[in-house]
Amino acid sequence: MKKYLVLLATSGIIFPVFVMAEPFPDFPMAFWGTVTINLQPAPAGTLIRAYVSDVVMGQVVTQESGVYGYTGPTKQKLIVGSSSGTIVFSFQNPSLYGGMETKGTVSQTHSPFVSGETINKNLAFAFTEATTLSGGSGGGGGGGGGGSSPSQTSLSTLGALSSKGDANNDGKINVLDFNSLMVNWGKISVEATSDFNNDGRVDIFDFNILMINWSK
């Protein structure tokens, strides 16, 4: 939280007043490139997720075989929210590994997070029948309740969300919708106009939906 010094004039006397202001959120990172699974192009419809400490920070579904993101500035990319740890990638496809999500036998990672940076990263997953993604920390211990992870948009519904992103309902996805997203960033409310995936909060997943549909 930042403090700003404001001079308040009352009856000819100037008083210094500190005003609290919400910091502007870090811009996310963006990844694009090819994706293979056991040396073969990942099928279209493969879900690629980015984790930091078992928390989902971004996800995308491949639109064509072997590619999860594109170099064009308005083309689909894997958008990853601000974090301070190593980014670990996973994949999930109904026709592979019993439809379960996995990080594979060779970790696909990136570090560190750099706000606003766009990275060309080709993902090369490999898996065996014994490698699955942990479902998060166990239930042991009576420690204090930590914050919940960002909601994970399911593979079946992510495609349907691709038609959203029009915050002001003018039939276009442009800078006005981006402005609405920034104004509502971080809000937890079912009434937020930029909650494109209707999960009750405005966060990185809504930014991802906006970028997928940019200029449409």
pLDDT at 4 over 80: no
Across 109-113, 188-192, 193-197, 203-207, the highest mean pLDDT is recorded for 109-113
Of the two residues 193 and 98, the one the predictor is more confident about is 98
CATH architecture for the domain at 29-125 = Sandwich (2.60)
Residue ranges, CATH 2.60.40.10, the chain: 29-125
Beta strands in the chain (DSSP E): 2-10, 13-21, 29-37, 40-41, 47-52, 55-61, 67-69, 78-80, 87-92, 109-110, 118-120, 123-125
* Conformational region of residue 125, where left means phi above 0, alpha means psi within -120 to 50, and beta covers everything else: beta
SS3 34: strand
Q: What is the mean pLDDT of residues 126-131?
A: 72
Give tens-digit pLDDT for 36-59.
999 999 999 999 999 999 899 999
Give tens-digit pLDDT for 167-178.
777 778 887 778
Give tens-digit pLDDT for 57-107.
999 999 999 999 999 888 899 999 888 899 999 999 999 988 999 999 999
Query: Cβ–Cβ contacts within 10 Å for residue 83, how many?
Result: 21
